[in-house]
Amino acid sequence: MSKPSNTVHLYAGFSGGLTSSLLLQPLDLLKTRLQQSNGATLTKELRKITNIRELWKGTLPSCVRTSVGSGLYLSCLNVLRTNLAAYHQKHDLVPVRQTSSSTLPKLTMQENLATGALARSIIGFCTMPVTILKVRYESTLYNYTSINQAVRSIYYAQAPGESLTAMRGSLRNFFKGYWVTTARDAPNAGLYVLFYEKLKLLAPKFLAHEDSAMFSTSTSAMINSVAAFTSSCLSTAITAPFDTIKTRLQLLGDTKNGRITTSRQVLVHILTKERFVNLFDGLSMRLLRKGLSAGIAWCIYEELVKLSATTNSQETVLKG
């Protein structure tokens, strides 16, 4: 089976990310609102919503971040993984295998962890401005009426209820919370790829496998979706505190009036003024959203990549 170009991985990742983002935006919005303040509950936040369309507030920045971010991340991950697989093949180190539900190369546990974390760190930096825009749009602390207003507010580090002042204007404000986001996303992505590849290898032990080299489309889609959902829930639960700290930090204004402006201050505030359990605020929404998102996005991604590989192989045979 021939290998699809990296452009295919970009389009496949973009399609999966866009689909999951559109479908699951309400869960992301509720997660953000549960994290924005101490004492928020799902029931209270749902009662505040007066129009069903409000559940999709922030969909534009969310879709841009998720679709573009997913496409870039999976393309970057593919480059790292295929180069490692080629290196193994060239030096006869570890046999490059493929699971019966996937055309992606099989690497060691350490390599899956490292490539997932590295790819997420790189793409996370590129999409950080859109991430901050998305979080602020979803919260109830800011009532933006346009993208331009939101961009100006972030650039000038406007706190809730504050007027704009040019004194704090800086492009650095668009990358606020990057390190705590990376502390969450890099391990999350690394653990996800590790768990995902391991779970896919377990599938043949529980399913009757045909003699063909690959499972049928429906079977492989089910395997990849379940593996993606489970892996995402596991990695998300482990890194949940970093998500809460990141969200709180990105919703605060960068002022000199005693406001919390660093990740460490957010952590100390939660541990001393609130409760330890508040580090896991919004976890139920995030588990559901991230699990379903991964199940949808990675299923679409894997099947589109596999379809492209199959099509390329058939065209090669016909030409030959």
Residue 172 counted as domain residue? no
pLDDT of 227 strictly over 70: yes
- Comparison of pLDDT for 22 and 258, the residue scoring more: 22
**The predicted structure's pLDDT at residue 318:** 56
Residue 268 counted as domain residue? yes
What mean pLDDT comes out for the span 75-79?
93
Structurally, how many domains does the chain consist of? 1
Residue 185 counted as domain residue? yes
**The predicted structure's pLDDT at residue 138:** 77
d(C-alpha 97, C-alpha 312), whole Å = 20
**The predicted structure's pLDDT at residue 147:** 82
**The predicted structure's pLDDT at residue 242:** 87
What mean pLDDT comes out for the span 261-273?
85
What percentage of the chain has pLDDT greater than the value 70? 84
**The predicted structure's pLDDT at residue 77:** 94
Q: How confident is the model at residue 93 (pLDDT cuts 50, 70, 90)?
A: low
What mean pLDDT comes out for the span 36-45?
80
Residue 259 counted as domain residue? yes
Query: What is the domain range of residue 237?
Result: 177-281
Q: How confident is the model at residue 76 (pLDDT cuts 50, 70, 90)?
A: very high
First-to-final CA distance of the chain: 14
- Comparison of pLDDT for 212 and 298, the residue scoring more: 298
Nearest to 41 by CA among 49, 30, 25, 51: 30
As a whole number, the mean pLDDT across the chain is 83
Residue 80 counted as domain residue? no
Nearest to 17 by CA among 296, 217, 218, 225: 296
- Comparison of pLDDT for 130 and 311, the residue scoring more: 130
311 contacts 318 by C-beta, under 8 angstroms? no
Q: How confident is the model at residue 256 (pLDDT cuts 50, 70, 90)?
A: very low
**The predicted structure's pLDDT at residue 306:** 86
d(C-alpha 177, C-alpha 252), whole Å = 11
pLDDT of 185 strictly over 60: yes
Query: Which of 10-24, 151-165, 235-249 is the most confident on average?
Result: 10-24
Reported as a single tens digit per residue, the pLDDT across 94-129 is 555 556 677 788 888 899 999 999 999 999 999 899
Residue 186 counted as domain residue? yes
pLDDT of 190 strictly over 90: yes
What mean pLDDT comes out for the span 1-25?
86
Residue 149 counted as domain residue? no
pLDDT of 316 strictly over 90: no
Residue 54 counted as domain residue? no
- Comparison of pLDDT for 254 and 8, the residue scoring more: 8
Reported as a single tens digit per residue, the pLDDT across 128-173 is 998 888 888 777 778 788 888 888 888 887 777 677 666 667 888 8
**The predicted structure's pLDDT at residue 211:** 47
303 contacts 220 by C-beta, under 8 angstroms? yes
Residue type for 160, please?
A: P
